[in-house]
Amino acid sequence: MGDEHIPLFETKQAKGRTLFKLYTASMAMGICLICVYRATHTPEKGKTGRYLWIGLFMAELWFTFYWLITQLVRWNPVTHQTSKDQLSLKYENMLPGVDIFVCTADPVIEPPLMVINTVLSMMAYDYPPEKLNIYVSDDGGSELTFFALLEASRFCKYWLPFCKRYKIEPRSPSAYFAHASPINNEWSFIKNKYEEMSKRIDNTTRLGKVTEETRKEDKGYQEWDVDSSKNDHQAVIQILIDQRDPEARDTEGKSLPGLVYVAREKRREWHHNFKAGAMNALIRVSSKISNNPIILNVDCDMYSNNSESIRDAMCFFMDERSQNNIAFVQFPQNFDNLTRNDLYSNSLMVINNVDIGGLDSYGGCLYIGSGCFHRRDTLCGRIYSLDTKINWEKQNHKEIIESTDVLENECKILASCSYEHNTQWGKEMGLKYGCPVEDIITGLSIKCRGWRSVHLNPKRRAFLGLAPTTLLQTLIQTKRWAEGEFQIFLSKYCPLVFGHNKIPLKLQISYCCYLLWPVNCWATLYYVLVPSYCLLARISLFPKLSSYWFLPFAYVFAGKYVYSLGEFYWLGGTVRGWWNDQRMWLYRGLTSYLFGFCDVIFKSMGFTTSGFVITSKVSEEDALQRYNKEIMEFGATSPMFNILSTLALVNVLSFVNGVKWVVMDSDISGFSELGVQMVLCGLIILINIPLYDGMFFRKDNGSMPSSVTYLSTIFAILFCTLAII
Ligand SMILES: *[C@@H]1O[C@H](CO)[C@@H](O)[C@H](O)[C@H]1NC(C)=O
Ligand SMILES: *[C@@H]1O[C@H](CO)[C@@H](O)[C@H](O)[C@H]1NC(C)=O
Ligand SMILES: CC(=O)N[C@H]1CO[C@H](CO)[C@@H](O)[C@@H]1O
């Protein structure tokens, strides 16, 4: 074939690299000058403030170190572009099959209606349906989810042909009908059908159980006849759409993607390894039923916003140049319920658009547990060698002759608790166990076996999920990530050790950029607390405003923030969005990272931990209204809020004290000496405005609980009294 070398994807380097390098160099110079200043101006032994000064120097050294890692990550980001036309031209008839895993864990936190919307959007991919199989892992083992899925297996017979005929997007019915305007009668018919179905599902969910009448409709419900609970039940495997069944057709007689409900066995005496355990059970069950060479896994709230995403991913797996060394293609996590200025900074815009592209240029973005296409063989532990080419043409899975019942029963063994006992599952095979963010170490170990990975970040988002909509949810989610990541850093999977000699040093260090998130808490806390403490105690920690040494501080500070504002704006954010992002950076540092760090340390010493619980991302009506108006939501007591409020108040008190001092005593030289600290305090106050508002002015349900306000006021006053005496 003459056209054999037409590439299926293109890789581009980010623009403006020279400018970026110049900027980095100038910042590095500024930072060096600051270090020189700190080293040469340390207060002498015995003088007040010597230790505070040294502490501040340490905090700055940490920030410098972390900044250097960040610059390394961002040195040379790349982006990819796919040519799906080429893919169809060359490979349309040999496209490999794809097994899609949708994981859900709890019908209350993750409503079944949301789950089936995700499932329907996946079933409707623009891809040969006989090559698609959807597996829903229900770790809640709930008949409500099963009921919803059964409904979906009927509705899809109307939905899929409708999607394909009118080429509608997105293909999650709820997302589609939320914005679409009527086309014709068929449209209204489908919409009615969808609404009826969602009513039935909502009614059943509200009731909390499936009615007796409905239970007679499908023998699958018998699985719930035995006494069972969320954490103690047998394995349930139900093939809802069997591709071997000649009657499994849509209303136009075309074949349907397979649909399988899987609830692995749960017993109290076995450890279940959370999502990693569920994924591994799915890998085994799917290998028995369809055994497709590509696996896509998504969280149950992430619907597909682009019906061509599978083809995008295939462009990498099937490209001839890539030497078949691509183990997985990761899409970023995006959200469709973000507000315009992204109050809680959930969009991860800079990480998704810049940082991960940087990791990609070093041969390996992270695997982040959702929206990722894997090769089945690499996920199961295969080591890279030059002949790992998949023979796409011979991928047709083996003919299965068993009846559905027999097949389901065989799969139950694969999904039983004891199956993994004394096997390599969770170690060398499948997702790794023993860490809350198992995806990161799984991705890392795949890379250590010689594979590379690709990050694809198309303009039109491939997957859209739900972002947390309250401050506390956001902070707790970040805490969980931070904790897991730091745990990896301290474990044998630390990239610097585990990846030694296996992946490039650049990549090892880049990984640490994320794994060290929580460590930032100490320097952040120090910077928020100590300069204002010293302002109260009249100890100067920074150069005078009139001194030349002030310049590097001003340059580094301004340089960092002007750059990040510019970057944020250029990526499509708003100025207020950037300001919110800075606030959330601070809040995460002072709470999520702090608790994450402490929990990891306490856990390693054998103590129990703070145990913040995850709550539903679907919130109350009035909370949702505030979210849409971008009013910060407190409304709960949490030690996290105590910390934030106390710090915010301390800064107000010391700022007021500083102002009083300049105005009343007209102490101008004092102002020059403490000016930087006053500016710092002032900025912290500005960024905390929504917090003061929530503490003292708002009266709605989302304002700060008064117990938190009282307690933090007392703490703040105590602290300031200590500083002054
Ligand atoms: C759902 O419940 C409401 C009352 O709670 C009832 O009026 C309605 O008919 C039910 N819908 C379906 C589809 O069962
Ligand atoms: C989702 O897809 C639609 C097209 O169906 C597109 O208009 C929209 O911009 C996409 N959303 C995002 C966030 O990319
Ligand atoms: C489930 C949920 O919270 N959805 C909300 C996401 O955000 C949009 C506004 O941006 C709301 O309208 C949705 O209700």
pLDDT exceeds cutoff 90 at 203: yes
Q: Which ligand is nearest to the CA of 303?
A: 2
- Which residue out of 147, 151, 197, 203 has the highest number of ligand 1 atoms within 8 Å of its CB and is therefore the one to mutate? 203
Quote the pLDDT of residue 437. 87
Furthest-apart CA atoms within the chain: distance in Å: 93
Mean pLDDT of 107-121: 95
Mean pLDDT of 457-471: 93
Any bridge partners for residue 102, and if so which? 136, 298
Question: Of 353 and 712, which is predicted with more confidence?
Answer: 712
Say how many Å lie between the CA of residue 459 and the centre of ligand 2: 9
What does the DSSP assignment read for 118-144? Answer: HHHHHHT-SS-GGGEEEEEEETT--HH
Dist CA 512 CA 355 (whole Å): 13
Q: What percent of the chain has pLDDT over 90?
A: 76
Dist CA 222 CA 485 (whole Å): 42
Query: Per-residue confidence at 724, pLDDT binned at 50, 70, 90?
Result: confident
**pLDDT (tens digit, 9 = 90+) per residue, 651-674?**
999 999 988 888 887 767 777 888
Quote the pLDDT of residue 630. 95
- Give the 3-state DSSP-derived string for 409-432, with helices as H, strands as E and coil as C: HHHHHHCCHHHHCCCCECCCECCC
pLDDT exceeds cutoff 70 at 611: no
Residue 97's alpha-carbon distances to 82, 134, 161, 491, 525, in angstroms, are: 19, 11, 20, 36, 51
How many other C-beta atoms can be found within 10 angstroms of the C-beta atom of residue 529?
18
Dist CA 195 CA 198 (whole Å): 5
Say how many Å lie between the CA of residue 286 and the centre of ligand 2: 31
**pLDDT (tens digit, 9 = 90+) per residue, 33-83?**
999 999 999 998 877 789 999 999 999 999 999 999 999 999 999 999 999
Say how many Å lie between the CA of residue 624 and the centre of ligand 3: 7
3-state secondary structure of 378: helix
pLDDT exceeds cutoff 70 at 613: no
Query: Per-residue confidence at 592, pLDDT binned at 50, 70, 90?
Result: very high
Quote the pLDDT of residue 126. 96
Quote the pLDDT of residue 38. 95
Say how many Å lie between the CA of residue 191 and the centre of ligand 3: 20
List the residue whose alpha carbon is closest to atom 14 of ligand 1: 200
Dist CA 696 CA 702 (whole Å): 12
Cβ-based neighbours of 5, under 8 Å, separated by 6 or more = 320, 321
Any bridge partners for residue 134, and if so which? 100, 259
Q: Are 494 and 467 in contact (CB under 8 A)?
A: no
The helix (run of H) or strand (run of E) holding residue 206 is helix 185-207
Q: Print burial letters for 201-220: b (CB count within 10 Å at least 16), e (below 16).
A: beebbeeeebeeebbeeeeb
The finding on whether 170 has its CB within 6 A of some atom of ligand 2 is yes
Quote the pLDDT of residue 247. 87
Looking at 138, 242, 336, 439, which residue is catalytic?
A: 439
Question: Pocket residues for ligand 3 (CB within 6 Å)?
Answer: 337, 339, 466, 469, 618-619, 624, 628
Residue 296: both structure tokens together? 């896509």
- Which residue out of 194, 199, 214 has the highest number of ligand 1 atoms within 8 Å of its CB and is therefore the one to mutate? 199
Q: At what angle do helices 17-40 and 550-570 cross, to 10 degrees?
A: 150
How many other C-beta atoms can be found within 10 angstroms of the C-beta atom of residue 606?
6
Spatial CA neighbour of 127 closest among 3, 300, 312, 333: 312
Quote the pLDDT of residue 500. 93
Global pTM value: 0.93
Query: Which residue is associated with the tokens 């160099």?
Result: 25
Q: Examine the residue annotation and report whether 405 is marked as an active-site residue of this protein.
A: no
**pLDDT (tens digit, 9 = 90+) per residue, 414-440?**
999 999 999 999 998 999 998 888 899
Dist CA 698 CA 695 (whole Å): 7
Question: Of 254 and 615, which is predicted with more confidence?
Answer: 254
How many other C-beta atoms can be found within 10 angstroms of the C-beta atom of residue 69?
16
186 assigned to a ligand binding site? no
List the residue whose alpha carbon is closest to atom 9 of ligand 3: 337
Residue 55's alpha-carbon distances to 61, 523, 527, in angstroms, are: 10, 9, 10
pLDDT exceeds cutoff 70 at 581: yes
3-state secondary structure of 97: coil
3-state secondary structure of 240: strand
pLDDT exceeds cutoff 50 at 2: no
Q: Are strands 294-299 and 98-104 parallel, antiparallel or unpaired?
A: parallel
pLDDT exceeds cutoff 70 at 283: yes
The finding on whether 603 has its CB within 6 A of some atom of ligand 1 is no
Quote the pLDDT of residue 4. 59
Q: Print burial letters for 450-466: b (CB count within 10 Å at least 16), e (below 16).
A: bbbbbbbbbeebbbbbb
Q: Are 475 and 587 in contact (CB under 8 A)?
A: yes
Query: Per-residue confidence at 1, pLDDT binned at 50, 70, 90?
Result: very low
Cis previous bond, 170, omega within 30: yes
**pLDDT (tens digit, 9 = 90+) per residue, 533-577?**
999 998 999 999 999 999 999 999 999 999 999 999 999 999 999
Cβ-based neighbours of 532, under 8 Å, separated by 6 or more = 650, 651, 654, 655, 677, 680, 681, 684
Spatial CA neighbour of 310 closest among 291, 327, 296, 290: 296
Q: Examine the residue annotation and report whether 301 is marked as an active-site residue of this protein.
A: no
Q: Which ligand is nearest to the CA of 338?
A: 3
Atom number in ligand 2 closest to CA 460? 14
List the residue whose alpha carbon is closest to atom 5 of ligand 3: 337
**pLDDT (tens digit, 9 = 90+) per residue, 672-713?**
888 999 999 999 999 999 999 999 999 998 999 999 999 999
Alpha-carbon dihedral sign for residues 14, 15, 18, 23:
negative
**pLDDT (tens digit, 9 = 90+) per residue, 443-461?**
999 999 999 999 999 999 9
Dist CA 48 CA 40 (whole Å): 16
Quote the pLDDT of residue 394. 54
How many other C-beta atoms can be found within 10 angstroms of the C-beta atom of residue 354?
16
The mean predicted confidence, pLDDT, of the chain is 91
Looking at 99, 138, 139, 360, which residue is catalytic?
A: 139
pLDDT exceeds cutoff 80 at 623: yes
The finding on whether 178 has its CB within 6 A of some atom of ligand 2 is no
Mean pLDDT of 194-215: 94
Query: Which residue is associated with the tokens 């990693």?
Result: 276
299 assigned to a ligand binding site? yes
Say how many Å lie between the CA of residue 460 and the centre of ligand 2: 5
110 assigned to a ligand binding site? yes
Any bridge partners for residue 262, and if so which? 137, 237
Residue 272: both structure tokens together? 């279940």
pLDDT exceeds cutoff 80 at 400: no
